Amino acid sequence: MQSPVIQELMDALRQLPTIGPKSAQRLAYYLLQQPSQTGQRLSAAIEQALEKVGHCQRCRTLTELAVCEICQDGRRDATQLCVVESPTDIVVIEQSGIFNGFYFVLMGHLSPIDGVGPEDIGLPQLQARLQEGDVREVILATNPTVEGEATAHYIQQMADRLNVSVTRLAQGIPFGGELEYIDSGTLGQAFLGRKVFE
């Protein structure tokens, strides 16, 4: 029979994404078999992050500052605003080095079935940001899911009413990909998003 304390640790670990029962069990036993400093360091790091990290007042990403470093950077292009679902999306885009505008993080997507509406993902705050007048182009980088597409459509309508141009990240076949390994949904998006060959 499992110790109630170990079971509680496993249940807590299962709340993390991609961690199932077996992974939670492995992690729990791993932590408990290490010197106590390992678990204490992890515990302290989690506690500190939960205490000190909040949302940027401008873009809603996770930060320890009132306004994140990206939003404070005067060298960035204030006419472009990339709308993403998660702070991790910013990390990926920043690593590419291809975008030099600002961001707005939804922290999710519209999902009426789950009770997630426009206010829950900061759309009134996004609208206020667009009304300031600096943004000329909204780049929609929501995920290519039903909810992501619905969210993108909602934002497009909002931006259209404010005469702000809207673009969408291209979707389709990845560079270096081979057609035989591409799923039909991705291939369909590639056909719909095709452009003139130059």
Residues 39, 70, single domain; the answer is no
Residue 62 lies in a domain: yes
Strand boundaries in the chain, DSSP class E: 54-55, 62-63, 77-84, 101-105, 137-140, 165-168
Same domain, 14 and 105: no
If asked whether residues 145 and 94 sit together in one domain, one would say yes
Residue at 23 is within a domain = yes
User: pTM of the full predicted structure?
Assistant: 0.83
Is 116 inside any structural domain?
Answer: yes
Same-domain check for residues 85 and 137? yes
Residue 121 sits in a domain of what CATH number?
3.40.1360.10
Give the model's pLDDT for residue 15: 95
What is the extent of the structural domain holding 100? 58-168
Residues 63 and 158 reside in one and the same domain: yes
In-domain check, residue 184: no
Residue 112: inside a domain, yes or no? yes
What local confidence, expressed as pLDDT, does residue 96 receive?
87
- pLDDT value for 179: 63
Read off the tokens for 187.
Answer: 């291939």
In a domain, 183, yes or no: no
Residues 29, 35, 37, 41, Cα dihedral to 10°: -30
Could you tell me the CATH number of the domain that includes residue 46?
Answer: 1.10.8.420
The chain-wide mean pLDDT, for the chain, equals 90
Q: Apex CA 118: angle with CA 126 and CA 12, to 5°? A: 105
Q: Are residues 36 and 129 in the same domain?
A: no
User: Do 37 and 92 lie in a common domain?
Assistant: no
Interval 40-84: pLDDT, tens: 999 999 999 999 999 999 999 999 999 999 999 999 999 999 999
What dihedral do alpha carbons 81, 106, 62, 15 form, nearest 10°? Answer: -150
**105 and 70 Cβ atoms separated by less than 8 Å:** no
pLDDT at 198: 58
> How many separate domains does the chain show?
2
